Amino acid sequence: MHLQQNISLLPYNTFGIDVQAAYFTELKDINDLEAITELPYEKHILGGGSNILLTQPIKGLVIHNQLKGITVEKEDDNHVWLRVQAGEVWHELVLYAVNTGLGGIENLALIPGTVGASPMQNIGAYGVEAKDTIESVTFWYWNEKRLLTYNNRECEFGYRASIFKEGLKDKVFITSVVYKLSKQPRYNTSYGAIEQELEEMGVKEPSVKAIAYAVMNIRMSKLPDPKVIGNAGSFFKNPTIARTEYEILLEKYPSLPSYKVSDNLVKIPAGWLIEQCGWKGYKIDDMGVHAKQALVLVNYGKAHGKEIWQLSGEILRSVKERFGIELEREVQVW
C-alpha cells in the first residue's frame, strides 16, 4: 500500500473538478484492505469518478479502486457466471461479454464508471438494469474487518439504488461482482431508439454485439464526452409518480411522455421536465446544461462543484414549481 498526501482529484473525476484529497491510495491488492482498515481516516471509495460531484476538499482518505480481473466462476448449457473485480471498467466488461456472445448487459454499453458502481447504483439504460444479471456481490465490511457476500435479494435493489447506497453506505467496500450472463440471450430492443438505430445500421437479425453498438451510437449522439466537456452523465433520476397525478398533468401537457411502471405508477423522463422549464442549453460562466440532453449538467472549464450544486438546486425548484414533481439528484456529492 502506497499512501500519498495532498493529491489533486482532478484526473479522477469526469466532472473535471479540482479539489485535493488529504490522503490518497490506489488499491490493487485485496490483501491491503486490512492495513487500510487500520488507518484512522474517514474513507471515501473512488471508482471511475463518473458519478460524483466534488464540492470541497476531502479531509479523509480517498481509495481509488484498481482491483482488476475477469474470471469464469462456473457455466452450464445456458449461462456463464463471471466474477469481475470491482475496479474493472464497466464498458470493458460489456465489450468482453458481447465479443464472447454472452447476453444480458449489452443495453448497458458505454455507461461510464467501474464494475463496483453497478450494484451500488443499480445502473440501468434502455430497459435493462444491472440487477437483472447480478448473482452476488462480495464486499469488505470495514467494522467487521472481513469479506461478506450478498445474493441478489440481499442487495435490496431499487431504481438507481441498493443496500450499498443506502443501509450500508460508507460501511463497505465492494470488491467483486458475479454476473449471470446468457449463452442464448433474449434481446431487448423495444426501449428508446434501438430498433430505429439497428435499422439504420442495416442490421436485420439482432445480436448482442449489434445491440451494444446501437446503444453506443445513440449515447454518443446525445451525451457529451467527459474527455471534452466535464460531466457526470445523467445528473437527475427519472421520477415515478402516481397514475392519478400523471393523468392530471397529461390534461395540461398533452405531449408529456411516460413509461408504465405498474398499474398505479408512471415514470416521467426528468430530461423532458427540465427542458420544458427552459434549462436545456443554459450556460452561465463555466457551467450549464448540455444543449442536447437536459439531464446532463456540464463543466465547460473551471467551474466549482458548489456552483454546479447550486445550479442543480435551481433546476429542482423550477420543476417543482411548474409540475409539482420533486426530482432527485442521481450524482453522489462529496
pLDDT in tens, 262-314: 889 999 999 999 999 999 999 999 999 999 899 999 999 889 999 999 999 99
With a CB cutoff of 8 Å and minimum separation 6, the contacts of 54 are 9, 13, 15, 17, 19, 305, 334
Same domain, yes or no: 286 and 303: yes
Cβ–Cβ under 8 Å, residues 181 and 80 = yes
Q: Minimal CA–CA distance to 149: which of 133, 165, 163, 128?
A: 163
- Grid cell locating 279: 434549462
* Domain coverage including residue 315: 230-333
Write phi, then psi, for 174 (nearest 5 degrees). -70, 125
- Residues with catalytic roles: 160, 234, 330
Residue 214 domain flag: no
Residue 21 domain flag: yes
Domain stop point among 182, 197, 221 = 182
Q: What percent of the chain has pLDDT over 90?
A: 79
* pLDDT at position 121 over 70: yes
Same domain, yes or no: 157 and 249: no
Classify 43 as helix, strand or coil: strand
Mean pLDDT of 56-70: 96
Mean pLDDT of 302-328: 96
29 pLDDT tier (thresholds 50, 70, 90): very high
Residue 191 domain flag: no
Please classify residue 187 by burial: count the beta carbons closer than 10 Å to its beta carbon, then call 0-12 exposed, 13-18 middle and 19+ buried.
middle
- Per-residue model confidence (pLDDT) at position 159: 85
Same domain, yes or no: 11 and 97: no
Mean pLDDT of 203-226: 89
State how many domains the chain has: 3
On average, the pLDDT of the chain sits at 93
* pLDDT at position 149 over 80: yes
- Per-residue model confidence (pLDDT) at position 177: 98
Phi-psi region of 113 (alpha: psi -120 to 50; beta: other; left: phi over 0): left
* Alpha-carbon span 278 to 294, nearest angstrom: 9
Helix (H) / strand (E) containing 266: strand 265-267
Q: What percent of the chain has pLDDT over 70?
A: 99
Same domain, yes or no: 17 and 97: no
* pLDDT at position 88 over 90: yes
- Per-residue model confidence (pLDDT) at position 222: 82
- Per-residue model confidence (pLDDT) at position 50: 87
- Per-residue model confidence (pLDDT) at position 314: 97
Cβ–Cβ under 8 Å, residues 63 and 21 = no
Same domain, yes or no: 30 and 112: no
Residue 74 domain flag: yes
- Per-residue model confidence (pLDDT) at position 192: 64
